[in-house]
Amino acid sequence: MQIFRCHPRRSPMNIVSSSARLYWRKPMIAALLVASLAVPLSAGGATSPASQPSSGGVAFAARSASPSQPKFGPNVYIFNPTMPLSQIQATVNAVATQQVSNQFGTQRYALLFEPGTYGSSTTPLNFQVGYYTTVAGLGQSPSDVVINGSVDVYNQCFSGSCVASDNFWRSLSNLTINTTTPNFGCYNGEFWAVSQAAPLRRVLINGPTTLEDYCTGPSFASGGFIADSQFTGGTVINGSQQQWITRNSILDGWTNGVWNQVFSGVIGAPAQCFPCGNPYTTLATSPVTREEPYLYTDSNGNYNVFVPAVQHNSVGTTWGSGETPGSSIPIQKFFIAQPTDSAALINAALLFGFDLILTPGVYDLDQSLLLLYPDTVVLGLGFPTLIPQNGNPSMIVAAAKGVLLSGMIFDAGPKNSPVLLQVGLDCALSLCSLGKDDSLTDPSGLSDVFFRIGGAEPGKATTSLIVNTPNLIIDDVWAWRADHGNGVGWTENTGNTGLIVNAENVIAYGLFVEHYQKYEVIWNGNNGTDIFFQNEMPYDPPSQAAWMEAPGIDGWAAFKVANNVTNFKGYGMGSYSFFNQGVNILAANAFEVPSTLPPESLNDLLTIFLSTSGSGGILNVVNGTGGSSTIANPDAPVTVVSYP
């Protein structure tokens, strides 16, 4: 066994003394130690080049080869400004050619740009971003990496219908784009025509920006999420985007709203207007935020991960008027995992106090990954996908404070898992409050964390995400029981609930939860807040009898606030129906909450009957009020301004 020559930077949990840390949960720790004897560990990477996965059969240009560069594996491409632009262009084009239509493939990529400028006004760098592709700058500020060109997502066309409604699982972050699109015709400017799980973070875009690909029709889109970003030199075109949340950003303007456009802490946001022709839900400040950790290189070329500090009542970006508040972790403190690494090996590294980088690929886990210590950072590159193989959770977070997860997908496995990700100890054991005071100043967070049941492969999970940690910040989560793809059917990709919140003071920005078979969200914790909620009820209940909350109550509410909750706030929350089995399926309510909540706890609620090819509908918006959305009023929001 290789001996570690570094010490964890964090202190152990306050359950046992530090000297006794390795004796907490002795059987588990012993099993991890035994497993770790079989494979050597190192902080800089776990596998030799011979054991790394291939790039999916695509011929790519040579990657940069700095001796100090961490071993991120073959599917992470790191560019620097000294490379010929033609070489960079060929590489990103090859990735896009493979990934633009690769919705349920296993290939994953990260395209990382070292500080400097790429492209020019006469020879720009323009490329598309496909599925499971991360594009990010490696500067400490977005201004450190400049692309003269565009980084685009366009409609996909099927049988003559061109839409963005399936453009999922991709991201763009931490760089500046000076939009330069000569001779592009209609495609002038930055196009980011996406739907769920495709965030824009920490970007500065100078020039025209559109969230709709209006060059081909009908251009339907169902996004989306922007945070910590600035747009100058042109109004952002919302276009056909049915819903969108923009948080802590700066806008020159915003064109329109469709159903549910939400702005929180955004300078230049449209004024509050709901319901109206362009409906906007606008909050002047964001109550509490913590931006996503990100990889960067310092002035000496050393790799680090920056961990932004918590912000309260914030407006605008974290970087616009100086350095982002927070702290750096050197790359040597991270275990860099490859998809070929076993869960036991990764757990051994976590046990020894390493943070974790998951490189691109699919991780088949025969046991849960266990995060035992506060302030552990788990950073995904290229949408690493975790799949439990034995009905186990993919990950359990035991620590209460400072644990940050970002940029990953949790897929359900072939055997039913009770939960895919559990954050915090079991509330049934009265352990929810452990670390509560510390987590006020050092909250845990989930950023760009996505869940999927079916679609890519058959899978089952009772609940996708359970939150037992107080003060947790949810920042862009999409939990999706697949409505298309592989292993899809009422009795095949089974999943009761997307999210259960058991802890107090949890806040969510950008909560997308779709197609689960019972309550899609259950909120049991007091003093919770949800800013933006998007939901589609399950398409496929085979009969009304198969989809009943209780005798005499049709269907299941999309969002259930438990009867014992005394304080909860919600803003910009929508639920839609499209029951497509040719059976008249009804849901009594989209939202169920205690009627004893303080006045105006819920704001700007709506339901939609999506298509006349569907049946049934939603009878009430919330608690028997608000009217129905059925075939009698298709594609028309039924709204409640505030409740109770």
- The per-residue pLDDT for range 498-531, each reduced to its tens digit, is 999 999 999 999 999 999 999 999 999 999 999 9
Contacts of 113 (CB under 8 A, 6+ apart): 78, 79, 80, 135, 136, 137, 138, 145, 147, 175
Whether cis (ω within 30° of 0) applies to the bond prior to 49 is no
Distance CA 280, CA 603 (A): 11
Beta bridge partners of 179: 149
Residue 108 DSSP SS3: coil
Q: Which of 323, 536, 549, 600 is catalytic?
A: 536
Position 520 scores a pLDDT of 98
Q: State what percent of residues in the chain have pLDDT above 70.
A: 88
User: Is 390 inside any structural domain?
Assistant: no
Beta bridge partners of 297: 303
Position 36 scores a pLDDT of 37
In the chain the first and final C-alpha atoms are separated, in Å, by: 62
Q: Which of 454, 554, 458 is nearest to 514 (CA)?
A: 454
User: Is 60 inside any structural domain?
Assistant: yes
Q: Is 504 a catalytic residue?
A: no
Q: For residue 547, is pLDDT > 50? A: yes
Position 134 scores a pLDDT of 98
Q: For residue 304, is pLDDT > 90? A: yes
Q: For residue 430, is pLDDT > 80? A: no
Q: For residue 66, is pLDDT > 90? A: no
Q: State what percent of residues in the chain have pLDDT above 90.
A: 86
Phi-psi region of 51 (alpha: psi -120 to 50; beta: other; left: phi over 0): alpha
Q: What is the largest CA-CA distance in the chain?
A: 70
Residue 434: pLDDT band with limits 50, 70, 90: low
Q: Which of 372, 298, 374, 369 is nearest to 337 (CA)?
A: 369
Residue 426: pLDDT band with limits 50, 70, 90: confident
Answer whether 272's CB lies under 8 Å from 282's CB: yes
Contacts of 5 (CB under 8 A, 6+ apart): none
Distance CA 433, CA 423 (A): 13
Distance CA 11, CA 642 (A): 45
Q: Distance of CA 397 to CAs 117, 175, 349, 372, Å? A: 39, 31, 15, 6
Q: For residue 59, is pLDDT > 50? A: no
Q: Distance of CA 594 to CAs 400, 517, 549, 581, 622, Å? A: 28, 22, 16, 32, 10
Position 300 scores a pLDDT of 94
Structural domains counted in the chain: 1
Q: How many CB atoms are located within 10 Å of the residue 312 CB?
A: 9
Q: Which of 219, 201, 204 is nearest to 154 (CA)?
A: 219
Q: For residue 68, is pLDDT > 80? A: no
Give me 440's structure tokens: 């006020």
Distance CA 336, CA 72 (A): 7
Could you tell me the CATH number of the domain that includes residue 109?
2.160.20.10
Answer whether 460's CB lies under 8 Å from 495's CB: yes
Distance CA 507, CA 324 (A): 22
Matching residue, tokens 């066994």: 1
Mean pLDDT score, 595-610: 98
Beta bridge partners of 176: 146, 204
Strands, E assignment, 187-325: 190-191, 200-206, 209-210, 225-227, 230-232, 236-237, 243-247, 260-264, 280-283, 286-289, 294-297, 303-308, 311-314
Position 102 scores a pLDDT of 98
Answer whether 382's CB lies under 8 Å from 406's CB: no
Mean pLDDT score, 12-38: 34
User: Is 229 inside any structural domain?
Assistant: yes
- The per-residue pLDDT for range 624-643, each reduced to its tens digit, is 999 999 999 999 999 999 99
User: Is 130 inside any structural domain?
Assistant: yes
Residue 431: pLDDT band with limits 50, 70, 90: low
> Ranked by mean pLDDT, which of 6-15, 57-66, 438-447 comes out on top?
438-447
CA angle 59, 62, 64 (to 5 degrees): 145
Residue 96 DSSP SS3: helix
Q: For residue 54, is pLDDT > 90? A: no
Position 14 scores a pLDDT of 28
Answer whether 548's CB lies under 8 Å from 527's CB: no
Residue 433: pLDDT band with limits 50, 70, 90: low
- The per-residue pLDDT for range 145-194, each reduced to its tens digit, is 999 999 999 999 999 999 999 999 999 999 999 999 999 999 999 999 99
User: Is 101 inside any structural domain?
Assistant: yes
Q: Which ranges of 134-252 would DSSP assign to H, the alpha helix? A: none
Q: What is the mean pLDDT of the chain?
A: 90
- Which residue range is the domain that position 159 belongs to? 49-289
Position 331 scores a pLDDT of 98
pTM: 0.91
Position 428 scores a pLDDT of 66
Residue 437: pLDDT band with limits 50, 70, 90: low
User: Is 549 inside any structural domain?
Assistant: no
Matching residue, tokens 């209940």: 541
Q: Which of 269, 335, 277 is nearest to 531 (CA)?
A: 269
Mean pLDDT score, 541-557: 97
User: Is 601 inside any structural domain?
Assistant: no
Position 585 scores a pLDDT of 98
Burial class (CB in 10 A: 0-12, 13-18, 19+), 607: buried
Mean pLDDT score, 282-308: 97
Mean pLDDT score, 210-222: 97
Distance CA 236, CA 210 (A): 6
User: Is 166 inside any structural domain?
Assistant: yes
